């Protein structure tokens, strides 16, 4: 985005002009001055000089503070930023006071004009510059907040649908073909078992279609889905695969992005051996307001093709939601991913 002076910043000189105009009105209304006296006190030339000075000062401050927001933002080291802002106001006030004193000494002002004998010369510049900085900080903060809001809305429109598509693509044709192969192997052996398998498979795809337009789902919905999903692998690997889900009722109404558990379970199965002699075990449980997906590590030999789309997708989604990304723990015995739970807006 190109740097440009905000309309709100240009309102400050207009406020100064309004204050000057109001002071004229008060003097005339209360009868302390007539129009000729007011013109002597505040001629048009002096008013124009004040407005010009305000515009120049505000413009300098605007770009200076905007630069500070990049190199020393408030959320980084706020004490240092406060010190820089305060020092800026003090230095500018010191410069103005010094300039006035020098002009007095060199006789720039007429001898009969004594505008600067009051102690206010040492107070007003500091107060004015502090006010300028405060107004600009507020204006830029509001401007950046709106920019961030627009950027998030733009990101949501452009990326969230694509991200969920990437998540849903984890249920690719390989997953379908593998399960159809399992179904064909058991349908002649055990009709009841095949019927349960078909129900589980339909439940999995029904869930994927139902969350098509949802950004978040309840943990309860996700748990019911993952039970059907993992049961399909149980049919496939039999004693070579086990899973355990232990999520208390008080966590069931909290929210997570849809298909989160599927991505993590799929990664566990994809990268680890699941056999009768080396059973793969997946555990899903809660810990410190997180949902943990854990599996024992028994990595496959050789490289496993992986684009890391699933985990990257989850990280990006949590970043968009303003939440901490999933925390991964790998101690060579177990692999854990802790997902932060999101409070439901209905609670």
Q: Please report the DSSP string for 15-81 in residue order.
A: HHHHHHHHHHHHHHHTTS--HHHHHHHS-HHHHHHHHHHHHHHHHHHHHHHHHHHHHS-TTT-HHHH
Residue 320's CB is within 10 A of a number of other CB atoms, namely 16
Q: Are residues 279 and 328 in the same domain?
A: yes
DSSP secondary structure code for residue 300 in this structure: P
Residue finishing a domain among 114, 149, 184: 149
CATH code for position 287: 3.30.565.10
Q: Are residues 20 and 123 in the same domain?
A: yes
Least reliable range by pLDDT among 44-58, 234-248, 258-272: 44-58
Residue finishing a domain among 149, 178, 208: 149
Number of domains in the chain: 2
Q: Are residues 141 and 179 in the same domain?
A: no
Q: What is the pLDDT of residues 299-320, one digit of tens each?
A: 887 655 555 666 777 887 787 7
- Average pLDDT over the chain, rounded to whole? 76
Of 307 and 140, the one with more pLDDT: 140
Q: How many CA atoms lie within 13 A of 110 on its CB side?
A: 2
Confirm whether 157 is domain-assigned: no
Of 174 and 259, the one with more pLDDT: 259
Confirm whether 188 is domain-assigned: yes
Highest-confidence range of 103-112, 139-148, 176-185, 327-336, by mean pLDDT?
327-336
Q: Are residues 173 and 126 in the same domain?
A: no
Least reliable range by pLDDT among 73-82, 161-170, 299-308, 316-325: 161-170
DSSP secondary structure code for residue 16 in this structure: H
φ, ψ of residue 279 to 5 degrees: the values are -65, 140
Residue 223: exposure state from Cβ atoms within 10 A (0-12, 13-18, ≥19)? middle
The radius of gyration computed from the CA coordinates of the chain, to the nearest angstrom, equals 34
Q: Are residues 143 and 174 in the same domain?
A: no
Does an H or E element contain 41, and which? Answer: helix 35-41
Q: Are residues 142 and 73 in the same domain?
A: yes
Highest-confidence range of 44-58, 140-154, 166-180, 222-236, by mean pLDDT?
222-236
Q: Are residues 97 and 224 in the same domain?
A: no
**Calpha distance 86→91 (Å, rounded):** 9
DSSP secondary structure code for residue 194 in this structure: H
pLDDT at 1: 40
CA-angle at 157, arms to 154 and 159, nearest 5°: 95
E strand spans, the chain? 217-218, 241-246, 255-256, 280-287, 290-296, 327-330, 334-340
For the record, the structure tokens of 122 come out as: 């040492």
Q: Are residues 130 and 22 in the same domain?
A: yes
Confirm whether 50 is domain-assigned: yes
DSSP secondary structure code for residue 326 in this structure: P
pLDDT at 329: 92
For residues 73-82, give the mean pLDDT: 78
CB 45 within 8 A of CB 94: no
Percent pLDDT > 90 in the chain is 19
Confirm whether 155 is domain-assigned: no
For residues 70-75, give the mean pLDDT: 77
Q: In sequence order, which ranges of 248-337 are alpha helices (DSSP H)?
A: 260-271, 309-320
For residues 213-230, give the mean pLDDT: 89
Confirm whether 140 is domain-assigned: yes
Beta bridge partners of 5: none
- State the pairing for strand pair 290-296/255-256: unpaired
Confirm whether 158 is domain-assigned: no
Q: What is the pLDDT of residues 86-127, one digit of tens each?
A: 888 888 778 777 877 777 677 665 555 455 455 556 666 777
Give helix 260-271 / helix 309-320 axis angle, nearest 10°.
150
Q: Are residues 13 and 45 in the same domain?
A: yes
Name which of 70, 67, 58 is nearest 9 in CA terms: 58
Q: Are residues 14 and 70 in the same domain?
A: yes
Q: Are residues 174 and 143 in the same domain?
A: no
Give helix 173-186 / helix 191-210 axis angle, nearest 10°.
160
pLDDT at 248: 94
pLDDT at 54: 72
Q: Are residues 193 and 326 in the same domain?
A: yes
Confirm whether 164 is domain-assigned: no
Confirm whether 160 is domain-assigned: no
**Calpha distance 41→26 (Å, rounded):** 14
The residue range of the domain holding 61 is 7-149
């Amino acid at each position: 985005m190109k740097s440009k002076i905000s309309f709100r910043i240009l309102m400050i000189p207009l406020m100064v002009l309004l204050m000057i105009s109001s002071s004229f009105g008060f003097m005339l209304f209360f009868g302390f001055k007539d129009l000729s006296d007011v013109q002597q006190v505040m001629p048009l030339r002096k008013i124009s000089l004040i407005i010009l000075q305000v515009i120049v000062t505000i413009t300098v401050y605007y770009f200076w503070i905007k630069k500070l927001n990049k190199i020393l933002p408030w959320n980084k080291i706020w004490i240092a930023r406060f010190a820089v802002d305060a020092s800026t106001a003090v230095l500018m006030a010191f410069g103005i006071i010094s300039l006035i004193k020098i002009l007095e000494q060199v006789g720039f002002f007429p001898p009969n004009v004594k505008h600067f004998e009051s102690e206010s010369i040492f107070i007003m510049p500091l107060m004015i510059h502090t006010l300028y900085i405060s107004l600009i900080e507020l204006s830029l903060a509001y401007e950046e907040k709106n920019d961030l809001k627009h950027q998030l809305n733009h990101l949501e429109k452009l990326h969230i649908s694509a991200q969920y598509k990437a998540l849903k693509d984890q249920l690719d044709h390989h997953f379908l073909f593998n399960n159809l192969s399992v179904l064909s192997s058991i349908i002649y052996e055990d009709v009841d078992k095949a019927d349960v398998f078909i129900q589980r498979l339909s439940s999995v795809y029904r869930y994927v279609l139902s969350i098509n337009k949802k950004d978040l789902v309840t943990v309860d919905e996700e748990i019911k889905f993952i039970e059907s999903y993992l049961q399909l692998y149980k049919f496939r690997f039999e004693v070579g695969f086990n899973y355990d889900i232990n999520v208390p009722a008080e966590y069931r109404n909290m929210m997570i992005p849809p298909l989160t558990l599927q991505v993590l379970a799929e990664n566990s199965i994809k990268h680890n051996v699941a056999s009768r002699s080396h059973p793969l075990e997946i555990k899903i449980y809660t810990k410190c307001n997180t949902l943990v997906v854990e599996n024992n590590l028994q990595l496959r030999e050789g490289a496993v093709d992986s684009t890391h789309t699933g985990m990257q997708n989850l990280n990006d989604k949590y970043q968009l939601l303003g939440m901490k990304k999933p925390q991964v723990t790998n101690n060579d015995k177990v692999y854990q991913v802790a997902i932060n739970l999101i409070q439901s807006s209905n609670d």
